[in-house]
Amino acid sequence: MAPAIAGTRRSDKTDPSTDSLTQLKELQTYIESNAEHVGERFPEEVRKMHYGEIKKRNIYGDASDSETRELVEEGINIARIPWLPRHDS
């Protein structure tokens, strides 16, 4: 017989992964609306901003794992998020 532990049953039937997916979509929409997409130029652009060569602005784009490691090792604060393909285009 298994012990009954209070608070372990979900009272709603929503899938937690659906909630996470919705939040990720909302984050992606926010980023697209509030930042400039620089594509593969991301590492170059973020370095220029970090070292004061260009004015800081909100950007997002692509970086390989090795490029990301190099940016972090240089002390550049970046965040990686999974990017979902657009299905409304």
How far is Cα 58 from Cα 77, in angstroms, rounded to an integer?
13
Can you give the length of the chain in residues? 89
Per-residue pLDDT tens for 12-33?
Answer: 566 666 788 999 999 999 999 9
Where are the alpha helices (H) located in the chain, listed in sequence order? 16-34, 42-50, 65-73
Burial profile 44-59: b = 16 or more Cβ within 10 angstroms, e = fewer: ebbeeebeeeeeeeeb
Give the separation between CA 59 and CA 71, rounded to whole angstroms.
15
Q: What is the pTM of this model?
A: 0.73
pLDDT for 5? 60
